[in-house]
Amino acid sequence: MNLTSGLIGAHISGPIGWLIWDNITKHNALSPGMTEDALEVIQSYAADPAIKVVIMRGAGTRAFISGGDIKSFDITRTNPETAARSREIPARLRRTMLDLEKPLIAMIHGYCLGGGLGMALNADLRFASPDSQFSVPAAIRGIAYAPDGLKQLVDLVGPAIAKDIMFSARRLNADEALRIGLINRIVDADQLEAETIAYAETLAANAPLSLRASKFFINQLGLECAERDEARMEAMQREAEASEDFKEATRSFVEKRKPVFHGR
177-209: per-residue pLDDT in tens?
999 999 999 999 999 999 999 999 999 999 999
Q: Is 130 exposed, middle or buried (0-12, 13-18, 19+ CB in 10 A)?
A: middle
User: What's the chain's average pLDDT?
Assistant: 93
Q: Could you tell me which residues come within 8 angstroms of residue 14 by beta carbon, excluding any fewer than 6 positions away?
A: 201, 204
Model pLDDT for residues 54-84, shown as the tens digit of each residue:
999 999 999 999 998 766 555 555 556 656 6
Q: Where are the beta strands (DSSP E) in 157-210?
A: 172-173, 185-186
Residue 73: per-residue pLDDT: 54
Quickly state the pLDDT bin for 2 (edges 50, 70, 90): confident
Burial class (CB in 10 A: 0-12, 13-18, 19+), 260: exposed
Mean pLDDT, rounded, for 106-133: 97
**Would you tell me how many other CB atoms lie within 10 Å of the CB of residue 156?**
15
For residue range 21-30, list pLDDT tens digits in order. 999 999 999 9
